[in-house]
């Protein structure tokens, strides 16, 4: 709902003057939430409720922005990162987002968590033309520049990861009998769909068991037993850390050694493999786009050293074993980059333009060879992953960086 | 509930209906109450014209939660049947509205309310029948089963075509009817307010009627009630239905205002929220339900302001303080204060009597 | 057939978890006549305490004993400080106090110990029992400990004066007072016992499900279901109910076609409700007959 305000007149002024041929200095252009000294970035996140274990991501992002502010801010402006708790509940997300946009008058909303929560505000953000930047979920729907030009995704989407697993299975075990363990919600079903799409015509014959679990389930032991009992020799384990670890351990307990593929959601060395047992985790295959901070192979890596310094100085209470604390600063850095690229033209339209204009942005904790790129028809910033195999001590990356872009 | 528990509930809630029933002719107290209600309604009408859109949205949600809690109140507060399942009725109402509005039916939003109410009424009756055999915590488990079942059913691939599965359903925001110079938020507020007033008035009427007295008698002394000829089974089942209807209508309104429904929004944690709102507002108090709605919406926000990481702990502490200070809820607190004030007035004017 | 056996055994294994929790639930119910929603969170908190002690270098059994002792004291303290003031409030208000306690504990656990899952050691080892691959030594140990606790409680309540006094205080507080029983302290004792049992339950469960702040939510719900199924007035019934819930859930998930997997909790609960239709006080519960 665009209104003719003084601002829009000022915005068109330079163009008008330019038409007259006179040289003109670039005017500062501000949309709500921006002043000469401040940019307000809004965010909703699950600090309480069923998804509260992810809350460290946004605490980490807040620490990152504090660091940026201490270093002089972005183009001289301090970032005011306002983050509210939505308890992973879509009605609450709507309420808090409206508060951010209408009451706190933030410039953009960035890095919101979860698919149902972001879906709830999807229409609102696009109707009010407020950027919904780099949503922290891997659902495929965010890559929709035509239908929702104000929303842009971030991480490799789950369906494409599923396809990559399917491709790997077709290459390495084309006669395999597959059992899939997935969480009974949007991301779990996305993984399953990706696997099925990737297997194509062979999906029906290869997938023997599709086992679900809820986060309130105490264990997934019975699901694992079922999958083994069905004679499966390939196990796609897309569960989150706790249940992935239980599944790995149970498989070892019942002496079942399938081709065991772990999803990107649950593959942390300290968060999943150590509790499950390093010996039991030998041979696991997974995909990464970020460096696992608990993996000793990055000990001397420059990017890791930067991250360690960042954590020690700005977020010392954060768990350095938690891969979520790698995701946080990576997302925050992307947001910061976009804001920086806007220069003094801090309008929401320009933010989306810059967000759709990232060229091979390289960040410290992205895997070597993986960069962030977007374009006017490409709203999937991170589209690459690399496979890795666990050798009992660390994740060994193998193969080359794979594109996770979905076919057009 | 055991006899002692019944007594405890009864002693606390007996006050409200009997005060109104013993209508003192030209009683100052009764008039004062009507005046307060009138003032509140006027304030409610003026509010959207002076506050920002976002606050209007919040106030609308408060009314919706208040209506949902009133539904629970009718069952638990007035009829003594413990329910942990009202998140299911809220969810069924919400999905009914969402499916009717977005599917091939493309129903207008106002028609979805009676539909949601009807569907929930039927479900409530169906649940009320087996509930007759269960008491207290056993009933709690049965209703809890319903609350747990609903998100799973909504997500299951059996119903996915209808419910949209885990992705949920997005709804368009209704526009104000042609010609009115208010925006969509304000319109939804007034719409909700109208529904609220009608349904609250109906509930008040129900409570004051013979049926209401029968319902409360069943709560206080079920054996005596049936000895007096009240058809316990019929009233209990009926109350289940009506209670579900109220919460279902609230759910439908909620879906329209939030414009989105997803299965995990309606988990049993929502039931716990309703229960907390009910108790904090005051069991057996109709206006207390609205206070419960205020609590459910605003207190988590307040808790978060105090501490983001420990918001749950702060919420718990606020809850404990409220229970210590107002063991019978806000309504009970207001009643006690009013009674205390009335006693003061009487001792000063009465003199010898 | 083999799959049936496998699922039954797996169900017994998970059922052991629920049974332990159900026992704690019924314990507190017997003492104070209502359900403690915060039981699971208290158990989680106790387990975190034990974990912290082990991290600081204590031996398993030292940490175990200390945790049980501390939990006992915490239980009594919570009763005296939190619940005595609201004892005369309507029952539903007391329910809110439980919910508040739940919220405080859950939030604090997350803040103090964060959400990364932690392993918790077991004194029973984790080899498959008798080499079978169906149930591990730890799970067998857990079942054994639960049954031992059950036996001890049975002896305590039936055979000791204190146990008798506690039962009297719960069944008829006024009459108990009249014969000189300090009802207030009996209730506090009941709290202490149930928190201690919860701590044991937590420490037994954590090795299987991993320790994190949300460890017990699902377990408590299943434990509650098991306790209700077995009958809230019967500790033995509660343990039976816990096992039954585990088995029912596993069988439902495996053998009911088409919907079994996604709806197995629902199905389990429906089965329980159906049982309650037939026996409204639970399978082993006693229907309370009260004089009118």
Q: Is C93 exposed, middle or buried (0-12, 13-18, 19+ CB in 10 A)?
A: buried
pLDDT band at B353 (very low <50, low <70, confident <90, very high): very low
Mean pLDDT of the region B57-75? 94
Helix, coil or strand: residue A94: helix
Place of tokens 């192979």: A297
Provide the pLDDT confidence category of residue C129 given band limits of 50, 70 and 90: low
Task: Give chain A's length.
Answer: 408
**pLDDT value of position C34:** 73
- For residue A184, give the nearest of C118, C128, C262 by CB distance: C262
pLDDT of residue A16: 52
Tell me, yes or no, whether C263 lies in a domain. no
Tokens 């600090």 identify what position?
A47
Q: Which of A90, A95, A122 is nearest residue B58 as measured by Cβ atoms?
A: A95
A85 has a chain B CB within 8 A of its CB: yes
pLDDT band at B330 (very low <50, low <70, confident <90, very high): confident
Q: How far apart are the C-alpha atoms of A400 and A214, rounded to whole Å?
A: 35
Categorize the per-residue pLDDT at C146 as very low, low, confident or very high, splitting at 50, 70 and 90. confident
**Which of B319, B322, B328 should we substitute to test contact with C (largest number of C Cβ atoms within 10 Å)?**
B319
A255 touches chain C (CB under 8 A): yes
Whether residue B260 and residue A214 make contact (CB cut-off 8 A), yes or no, is no
Which of A61-65, A218-222, C173-177, C268-272 is least confident?
C268-272
Phi, psi for residue A45 in degrees, rounded to 5: -150, 155
Closest CB to B148: pick one of C95, C232, C266. C266
CB A226 to CB C13 under 8 A? no
Residues 259-278 of B with CB under 8 A from C: 272, 275-276, 278
Answer yes or no: is C131 within a domain: yes
- Among the partner residues B142, B320, B327, nearest to C100 by beta-carbon distance: B320
pLDDT tens profile B94-130? 999 999 988 777 778 888 999 999 999 999 999 888 8
Q: Extract long-range pairs of B237-240: CB within 8 Å, 24+ residues apart.
A: B237/B125, B237/B128, B237/B129, B237/B131, B237/B132, B238/B125, B238/B128, B239/B74, B239/B75, B239/B78, B239/B79, B239/B81, B239/B128, B239/B215, B240/B75, B240/B81, B240/B124, B240/B125, B240/B127, B240/B128, B240/B131
Domain that holds residue C100: 2-216
Q: In this complex, which chains have at least 3 CB pairs below 8 Å with chain B?
A: A, C
**Of A114, A78, A79, A121, residue with least CA distance to A99:** A121
For the residues C21-44, what does the mean pLDDT come to?
82
C59-72 residues labelled b (16+ CB within 10 A) or e (exposed): eeeebbeebbebbb
Among A45, A92, A93, A116, the residue to mutate for chain B (most B Cβ within 10 A): A116
The pLDDT, as a whole number, for residue B17 is 45
Is C103's pLDDT higher than 80?
yes
A346 in helix, strand or coil?
Answer: strand
pLDDT at position B60: 93
Residues A385, A395: Cα–Cα separation, whole Å: 14
Question: What is the rounded distance in angstroms from the CA atom of residue A292 to the CA atom of residue A296?
Answer: 9
3 state SS of A320: coil
> B171-189, pLDDT tens digit by residue?
888 877 776 788 888 889 9
Residue C222 resides in a domain: no
pLDDT digits over B199-237, tens only? 999 999 999 999 999 999 888 888 888 888 888 888 999
- Is B7 domain-assigned? no
Q: Which residues contact B8 (CB under 8 A, 6 or more apart)?
A: C88, C89, C90, C91
- Among B64, B154, B309, B317, the strongest candidate for a mutation testing the A interface, having the largest count of A CBs within 10 A, is B309
- What residue of A is the nearest CA neighbor of C247? A222
- Residue C42: per-residue pLDDT: 93
Rounded CA-CA distance C233/C282 in Å is 9
Residue B155 to residue C106, Cβ atoms within 8 A? no
Whether B56 contacts chain A with CB within 8 A: no
C121 at the A interface (CB within 8 A)? no
Please check whether residue A226 touches C, CB under 8 A: yes
**Distance in angstroms (rounded) separating the CA atoms of residues B41 and B198:** 12
> Which of A55, A218, A255 lies at the smallest CB-CB distance from C14?
A218
Our measurement of the distance from residue B250's CA atom to the centroid of its chain's CA atoms, rounded to an integer in Å, reads 8
Asked if C275 has any chain A CB less than 8 Å from its own CB, the reply is: no
Copy the structure tokens of residue C131: 């080499």
Q: Which residues, including other chains, have CB under 8 Å from residue B18's CB and lie 6 or more apart?
A: none
* Residue C98 reports pLDDT greater than 90: no
CB contact under 8 A, A271 and C10: no
pLDDT of B277 reads 93
Q: Which of B57, B170, B300 sits opposite A98 (nearest CB)?
A: B57
pLDDT band at B30 (very low <50, low <70, confident <90, very high): low
Which regions in chain A score pLDDT beneath 50?
1-2, 10, 17-25, 408
HEC assignment per residue over chain B: CCHHHHHHHHHHHCHHHHHHHCCCCCCHHHHHHHHHHHHHHHHHHHHHHHCCHHHHHHHHHHHHHHHHHHHHHHHHHCCCCCCCCHHHHHHHHHHHHHHHHHCCCCCCHHHHHHHHHHHHHHHHHHHHHHHCCCCHHHHHHHHHHHHHHHHHHHHCCCCHHHHCHHHCEECCCCCCCCCCCCCHHHHHHHHHHHHHHHHHHHHHHHHHCHHHHHHHHHHHCHHHHHHCCCCHHHHHHHHHHHHHHHHHHHHHHHHHHHCEECHHHHCHHHHHHHHHHHHHHCCCCHHHHHHHHHHHHHHHHHHHHHCCCCHHHHHHHHHHHHHHHCCCHHHHHHHHHHHHHHHHHHHHHHCCC
In a domain, C261, yes or no: no
**Sorting pLDDT into bands at 50, 70 and 90, what band is C289?**
low
Q: Distance between CA A150 and CA A133 in Å, rounded?
A: 8
Domain of B124, in residue numbers? 22-352
- Which of A183, A218, A239, A240 is best to mutate for the C interface (most C CBs within 10 A)? A218
Judging contacts by C-beta atoms under 8 Å, the chain B residues touching residue C233 are none
Q: Which residue of A222, A231, A278, A311 to mutate against C (max C Cβ within 10 Å)?
A: A222
Give A392→chain B minimum CA distance, Å. Answer: 36
Q: Considering the domain boundaries, does residue C179 fall inside one?
A: yes
Using the beta-carbon criterion (under 8 Å), do A253 and C133 form an inter-chain contact? yes
Residue C68 falls within a domain, yes or no? yes
Residues facing B170 on adjacent strands: B260
Which residues, 6 or more positions from A66, have their beta carbon under 8 angstroms from its beta carbon? A314
> pTM for this one?
0.87
Confidence of residue B26 (pLDDT cuts 50, 70, 90): very low
As a whole number, the mean pLDDT across chain B is 84
CA distance B108 to chain C (A): 33
Closest chain A C-alpha to C241 CA, distance in angstroms: 17
Nearest-5° Cα angle at C218, C214 to C221: 130
Inspect the interface and report whether the beta carbons of C110 and A226 lie closer than 8 Å: no
For residue C260, pLDDT beyond 70: no
| pLDDT value at residue A15 | 52
Instruction: Check B170 against A48: CB less than 8 A apart.
Output: no
* B contact residues 83-142, partner C, Cβ 8 Å cutoff: 130, 133-135, 137-138, 140-142
Does any CB of chain C come closer than 8 Å to the CB of residue A216?
A: yes
The residue in chain B having the minimum alpha-carbon distance to the alpha carbon of residue A103 is B54
CB contact under 8 A, B54 and A98: yes
Nearest residue, CB atoms, C228 vs list B2, B141, B327: B141
pLDDT exceeding 70 applies to what percent of chain B? 90
Residue B73's CATH number: 1.10.3470
Count of the separate structural domains present in chain B: 1
- Check whether C227 has a pLDDT greater than 70: yes
A353 in B contact zone (CB under 8 Å): no
Given CB atoms, is A167 within the 8 Å cutoff of chain C?
no
Residue B9 to residue C108, Cβ atoms within 8 A:
no
Report the share of chain B in percent with pLDDT over 90: 36
Report how many domains make up chain C: 1
For residue C130, tell me if it sits in a domain: yes
Chain A contact for C79, CB < 8 A? no
Q: What is the DSSP string of C180-231?
A: T--HHHHHHHHHHHHHHHHHHHHHHHHHHH-B-TTHHHHHHHHHHHHHHHH-
Q: What is the dihedral of CA B329, B331, B337, B341, to 10 degrees?
A: -170
pLDDT mean over C250-254 = 79
Average pLDDT, chain C: 84
Interchain contact, B275 vs C85, CB within 8 Å: no
Judge whether residue B158 has pLDDT over 80.
Answer: no
Average pLDDT over residues B300-321: 88
Chain C residues touching B76 at Cβ < 8 A: 92
pLDDT number for residue A23? 46
Domain assignment of residue B12, yes or no? no
Q: Which residue of A has its CA nearest to C262?
A: A212
- Asked whether residue B8 is domain-assigned, the answer is no
- Residues of chain C with C-beta less than 8 angstroms from the C-beta of B156: 259, 262-263
Indicate the residue of C11, C114, C218 with minimum beta-carbon distance to A217: C218
Whether B81 is covered by a domain: the verdict is yes
Q: Which residues contact C60 (CB under 8 A, 6 or more apart)?
A: C54, C121, C123
Strand partners, A39: A34, A79
What ipTM was reported for this prediction? 0.86
pLDDT tens figures, A362-390: 999 999 989 999 999 888 898 889 999 99
Burial A138-152 (b: 16+ CB within 10 A, else e): bbbbbbebeebbbbb
C110 and A225 within 8 Å at the Cβ level: the answer is no
Residue B22 has pLDDT above 80, yes or no: no
In this structure, chain C runs to a length of: 292
CB atoms inside a 10 Å sphere around CB B222:
18
Query: Which chain C residues are closer than 8 Å to A211 by Cβ?
Result: 261
Residue C248, in any domain of the structure: no
């Amino acid at each position: 709902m665009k209104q003719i305000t003084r601002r829009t007149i000022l915005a068109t002024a330079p163009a008008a003057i330019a038409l007259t041929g006179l040289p003109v200095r670039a005017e500062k252009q501000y949309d709500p939430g921006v002043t000469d000294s401040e940019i307000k970035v809004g965010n909703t996140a699950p600090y309480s409720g069923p998804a509260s274990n992810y809350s460290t991501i946004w605490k980490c992002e807040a620490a990152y922005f504090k660091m940026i502010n201490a270093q002089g801010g972005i183009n001289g402006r301090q970032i005011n990162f306002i983050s509210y708790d939505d308890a992973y509940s879509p009605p609450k997300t709507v309420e808090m987002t409206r508060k951010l946009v209408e009451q706190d008058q933030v410039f953009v909303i960035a890095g919101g968590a979860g698919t149902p929560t972001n879906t709830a505000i999807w229409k609102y953000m696009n109707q009010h033309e407020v950027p919904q930047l780099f949503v922290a979920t891997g659902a495929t729907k965010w890559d929709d520049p035509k239908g929702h030009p104000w929303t842009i995704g971030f991480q490799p989407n789950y369906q494409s990861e599923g396809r990559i697993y399917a491709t790997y299975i077709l290459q390495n075990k084309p006669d395999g009998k597959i059992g899939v363990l997935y969480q009974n919600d949007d991301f779990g079903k996305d993984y399953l769909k990706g696997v099925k799409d990737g297997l194509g015509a062979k999906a029906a014959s290869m997938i023997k068991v599709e086992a679900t679990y809820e986060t309130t389930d105490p264990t997934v032991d019975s699901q694992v037993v079922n999958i083994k009992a069905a004679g499966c020799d390939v196990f796609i384990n897309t569960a989150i850390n706790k249940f992935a670890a239980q599944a790995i351990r149970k498989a070892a307990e019942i002496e079942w050694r399938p081709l065991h593929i772990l999803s990107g959601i649950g593959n942390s060395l300290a968060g999943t493999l150590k509790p499950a047992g390093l010996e039991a985790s030998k041979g696991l295959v997974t995909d990464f786009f970020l460096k696992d901070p608990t993996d000793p192979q990055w000990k001397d890596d420059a990017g890791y050293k930067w991250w360690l310094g960042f954590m020690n100085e700005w977020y010392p209470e954060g768990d350095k074993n938690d891969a979520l604390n790698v995701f946080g600063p990576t997302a925050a850095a992307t947001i910061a980059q976009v804001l920086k690229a806007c220069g003094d033209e801090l309008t929401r339209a320009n933010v989306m333009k810059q967000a759709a204009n990232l060229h091979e942005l390289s960040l410290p904790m992205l895997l070597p060879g993986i960069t962030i790129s977007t374009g006017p028809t490409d709203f999937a910033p991170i589209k690459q992953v690399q496979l890795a195999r666990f050798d009992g001590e660390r994740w060994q990356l193998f193969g080359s960086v794979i594109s996770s872009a979905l076919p057009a | 509930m055991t006899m002692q528990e019944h007594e405890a509930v009864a002693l606390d809630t007996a006050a409200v209906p009997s005060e109104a029933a013993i209508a003192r002719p030209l009683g100052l107290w009764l008039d004062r109450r009507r005046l307060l209600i009138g003032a509140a309604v006027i304030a409610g009408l003026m509010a959207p014209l002076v506050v920002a859109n976002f606050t209007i949205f919040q106030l609308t949600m408060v009314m919706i939660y208040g209506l949902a809690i009133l539904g629970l109140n009718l069952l638990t507060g007035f009829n003594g049947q413990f329910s942990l399942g009202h998140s299911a009725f809220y969810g069924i109402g919400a999905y009914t509205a969402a499916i009717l509005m977005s599917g091939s039916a493309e129903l207008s939003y106002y028609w979805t309310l009676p539909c949601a109410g009807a569907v929930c009424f039927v479900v409530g009756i169906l649940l009320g029948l087996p509930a007759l055999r269960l008491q207290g915590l056993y009933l709690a488990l049965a209703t809890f089963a319903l609350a747990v079942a609903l998100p799973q059913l909504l997500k299951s691939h059996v119903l996915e075509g209808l419910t949209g599965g885990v992705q949920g359903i997005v709804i368009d925001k209704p526009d104000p009817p042609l010609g009115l110079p208010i925006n969509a938020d304000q319109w939804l507020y007034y719409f909700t307010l109208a529904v609220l007033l009608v349904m609250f008035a109906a509930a008040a009427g129900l409570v004051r009627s013979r049926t209401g007295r029968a319902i409360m008698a069943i709560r206080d002394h079920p054996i005596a009630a049936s000895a007096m000829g009240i058809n316990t089974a019929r009233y209990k089942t009926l109350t289940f239905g009506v209670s579900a209807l109220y919460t279902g209508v609230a759910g439908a309104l909620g879906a329209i205002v939030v414009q989105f429904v997803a299965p995990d929004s309606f988990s049993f944690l929502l039931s716990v929220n309703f229960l907390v709102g009910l108790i904090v507002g005051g069991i057996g108090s109709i206006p207390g339900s609205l206070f419960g709605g205020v609590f459910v919406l605003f207190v988590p926000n307040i808790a978060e302001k105090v501490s983001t990481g420990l918001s749950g702990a702060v919420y718990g502490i606020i809850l404990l303080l409220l229970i210590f200070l107002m063991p019978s809820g806000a309504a009970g607190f207001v009643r006690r204060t009013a009674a205390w004030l009335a006693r003061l007035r009487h001792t000063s004017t009465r003199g010898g009597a | 057939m083999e799959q049936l056996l496998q699922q039954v055994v797996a169900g017994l294994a998970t059922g052991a978890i629920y049974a332990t929790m159900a026992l704690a639930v019924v314990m507190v119910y017997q003492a104070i006549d209502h359900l403690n929603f915060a039981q699971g969170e208290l158990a989680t908190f106790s387990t975190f305490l034990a974990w912290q002690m082990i991290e600081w270098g204590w031996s398993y059994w030292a940490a175990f004993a200390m945790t049980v002792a501390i939990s006992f004291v915490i239980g009594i303290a919570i009763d005296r400080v939190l619940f005595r003031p609201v004892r005369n409030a309507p029952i539903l208000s007391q329910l809110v106090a439980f919910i508040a306690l739940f919220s405080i504990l859950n939030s604090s656990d997350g803040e103090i110990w964060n959400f990364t899952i932690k392993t918790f050691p077991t004194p029973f080892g984790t080899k498959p029992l008798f080499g079978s691959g169906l149930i591990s030594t730890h799970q067998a140990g857990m079942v054994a400990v639960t049954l031992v606790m059950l036996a001890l409680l049975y002896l305590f309540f039936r055979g000791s004066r204190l146990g008798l006094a506690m039962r009297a205080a719960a069944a008829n507080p006024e009459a108990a007072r009249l014969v000189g029983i300090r009802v207030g302290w009996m209730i506090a004792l009941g709290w202490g016992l149930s928190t201690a049992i919860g701590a044991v339950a937590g420490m037994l469960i954590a090795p299987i499900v991993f320790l994190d702040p949300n460890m017990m939510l699902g377990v408590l719900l299943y434990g509650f279901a098991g306790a209700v199924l077995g009958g809230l007035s019967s500790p033995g019934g509660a343990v039976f109910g816990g096992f039954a819930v585990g088995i029912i859930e596993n069988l439902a998930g495996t053998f009911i076609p088409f919907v079994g997997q996604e709806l197995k909790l629902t199905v389990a609960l429906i089965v329980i409700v159906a049982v309650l239709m037939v026996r409204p006080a639970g399978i082993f519960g006693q229907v309370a007959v009260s004089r009118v």
